């Protein structure tokens, strides 16, 4: 084994001596603005408000800190920010789970080089649960910063012209939530088991839990539905509603008798139970009363996008904005409450403008489908183009409109290759974070493809200069040696051009 002169460890070898530095991921590792990313993320992480302690004692040198002996809460050293940020990038770029990305990081030297490690480490960088906590600390502002930096890198490497960022395509899709298909029978059985569990946790003894009968009723309802015996299925569901109503009323009575504190502790469980009990007995949803489709994810919406294969989807609506040419994502945002597509355009353009502000541009032309009709008055600063305006747009805009469908395969890749097909993160904030991180992973994979296809303009300019000098000296050695000093200015000019490309 070769020794590394840059370290005191004689038996260790640097990662940059082990991998091919021409690989796109290795090239991108040296081109990402890690210091800017870490500074922006650190500002978000460490500038959140924390309650301070008043220090009343003053002297000539100012306030004195009141030191009291207490156990140290330092804990283990924190993991470097670059490692955590790169793990989030790699997770969504290569379609890995939290557990999978840390395991694959341990076995892949190129990933460790991208994360800033100097030497190969045969260990996991952190526990998978650390990524969960890091995402919560980042928040929506932090993950949007990660997405914005991928756009900045694409512009700085001149992989996409800056003027292309002014024309965007916007479309919406559904990000599915990790829930089971919400049938009335399954929801009623889940509510019954949660009621029994809550009563046991509060120390309330129920007359009967209906555990055995509840499981049998759930099995029967599923079998009757499969056999298309809907009258028997509805009779079974009616019995499940009766059981749930009895348990709900009994628990409510005993909780009130035990005191206000117990009733408040069980308020959320009783409220969800009441919603499931009421909606299972209704044919239509009451106005102003959204249905509950999952006990652990009350933010889930039922969305109908007009698909023949899958008429109803359960999750959250996500708006995606990409460049008209180049297929780079410049915006991704989740919208709860199943809003009309056109009503999401204003907020989506606001997010895109914020993400592009480092490049000094903002979108002025938006290509959309017919779901965004009638919102021109809400977005006066941009020109909205769709095929419903066929008589009011120019021939050039008609030609550009043909590429509106380019966003459809982008959405397909987001779902199949970057984990947008199913969101496992908890709550409404989890939906927002997941949508933006999927877009950041797509952009990272886009950068890798473009580097492999086009290369880096700076390196290409340097190689051309070197090749030109070698070719001149190789083919015209006497001319090159006899060339006066003024004639050698061409080589320095080429070098200046190569440096200017950086």
Q: Are 237 and 332 contained in the same domain?
A: no
pLDDT at 471: 57
- What is the rounded CA–CA span in Å between residue 275 and residue 286? 11
pLDDT at 76: 75
Domain assignment of residue 25, yes or no = no
Domain assignment of residue 112, yes or no = no
For 321, the enclosing helix (H) or strand (E) is strand 313-323
Q: Residue 285: which residues within 8 A CB-CB, separation 6 or more?
A: 279, 291
User: Among 246, 237, 423, 403, which residue's Cα sits nearest to residue 327?
Assistant: 403
Domain assignment of residue 385, yes or no = yes
Q: Are 322 and 373 contained in the same domain?
A: yes
**pLDDT tens digits, one per residue of 49-78:** 444 444 444 444 445 455 555 665 667 788
Q: Which two structure tokens, joined as six digits, stand for 89? A: 């990038």
DSSP at 14: B
**pLDDT tens digits, one per residue of 366-392:** 999 999 999 999 999 999 999 999 889
- What is the rounded CA–CA span in Å between residue 101 and residue 470? 45
> What is the pTM for the complete model shown?
0.83
Domain assignment of residue 213, yes or no = yes
Domain assignment of residue 482, yes or no = yes
pLDDT at 464: 56
Q: Are 386 and 270 contained in the same domain?
A: no
User: Among 46, 159, 204, 174, which residue's Cα sits nearest to residue 431?
Assistant: 174
User: Among 407, 404, 415, 406, which residue's Cα sits nearest to residue 315?
Assistant: 415
Split into its structural domains, the chain has a count of 3
Q: Is there a contact between 270 and 253 (Cβ–Cβ < 8 Å)?
A: no
Q: Where are the alpha helices (DSSP H) in 48-127?
A: 81-93, 98-107, 109-114
Q: Are 400 and 308 contained in the same domain?
A: yes
Domain residues for 231?
184-279
Q: Is there a contact between 169 and 404 (Cβ–Cβ < 8 Å)?
A: yes
pLDDT at 9: 62
Flag residues of the chain having pLDDT under 70.
1-10, 47-74, 286, 288, 456-502
Question: Hey, what's the torsion of the CAs at 6, 9, 14, 18, to 10 degrees?
Answer: 130
Q: Residue 486: which residues within 8 A CB-CB, separation 6 or more?
A: none
Q: What is the CATH number of the domain that holds 318?
A: 3.30.420
């Amino acid at each position: 084994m070769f020794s590394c002169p840059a370290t005191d460890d004689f038996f260790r070898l640097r990662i940059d001596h082990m991998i091919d530095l021409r690989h796109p991921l290795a090239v991108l590792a040296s081109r990402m603005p890690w210091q800017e990313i870490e500074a922006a993320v650190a500002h978000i992480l460490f500038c959140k408000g924390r309650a301070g302690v008043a220090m009343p004692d003053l002297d000539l040198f100012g306030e004195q800190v009141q030191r009291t002996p207490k156990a140290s809460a330092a804990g283990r050293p924190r993991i470097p920010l670059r490692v955590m940020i790169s793990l989030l990038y790699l997770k969504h770029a290569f379609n890995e789970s939290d557990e999978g990305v840390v395991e694959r990081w341990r076995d892949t030297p190129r990933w460790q080089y991208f994360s800033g490690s100097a030497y190969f480490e045969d260990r996991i960088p952190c526990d998978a649960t650390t990524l969960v906590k890091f995402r919560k600390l980042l928040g929506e502002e932090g993950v949007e910063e990660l997405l914005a930096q991928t756009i900045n890198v694409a512009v700085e490497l001149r992989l996409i012209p800056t003027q292309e960022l002014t024309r965007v395509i916007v479309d919406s899709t559904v990000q599915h939530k990790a829930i089971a298909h919400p049938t009335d029978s399954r929801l009623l059985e889940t509510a019954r088991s949660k009621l029994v569990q809550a009563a046991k946790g509060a120390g309330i003894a129920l007359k009967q839990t209906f555990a055995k009968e509840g499981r049998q009723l759930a099995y029967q309802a599923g079998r009757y539905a499969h056999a298309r015996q809907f009258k028997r299925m509805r009779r079974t569901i009616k019995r499940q509603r009766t059981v749930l109503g009895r348990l709900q009323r009994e628990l409510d009575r005993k909780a009130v008798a035990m005191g206000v504190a117990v009733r408040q502790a069980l308020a959320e469980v009783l409220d969800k139970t009441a919603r499931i009990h009421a909606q299972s007995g209704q044919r239509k949803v009451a106005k102003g009363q959204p249905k509950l489709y999952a006990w652990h994810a009350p933010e889930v919406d039922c969305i109908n996008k007009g698909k023949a294969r899958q008429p109803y989807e359960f999750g959250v609506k996500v708006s995606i904005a990409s460049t008209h040419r180049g297929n780079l994502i410049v915006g991704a945002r989740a919208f709860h409450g199943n809003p009309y597509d056109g009503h999401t355009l204003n907020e989506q353009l606001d997010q895109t403008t914020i993400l592009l502000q480092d490049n000094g541009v903002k979108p002025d032309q938006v290509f959309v489908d017919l779901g965004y009709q009638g919102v021109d008055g809400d977005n006066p600063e941009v020109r909205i183009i769709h095929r419903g305006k066929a008589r009011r747009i120019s021939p050039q805009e008609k030609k550009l409109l043909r590429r509106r469908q380019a966003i459809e395969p982008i959405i397909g890749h987001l779902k199949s290759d970057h984990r947008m097909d199913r969101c496992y993160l908890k709550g409404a904030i989890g939906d927002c974070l997941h949508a933006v991180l999927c877009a950041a992973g797509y952009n990272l994979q886009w950068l890798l493809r473009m580097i492999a296809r086009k290369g880096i303009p700076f390196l290409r300019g340097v190689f051309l200069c070197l090749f030109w000098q070698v070719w001149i000296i190789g083919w015209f050695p006497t001319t090159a040696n006899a060339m006066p000093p003024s004639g050698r200015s061409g080589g320095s000019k080429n070098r200046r051009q190569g440096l200017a490309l950086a």
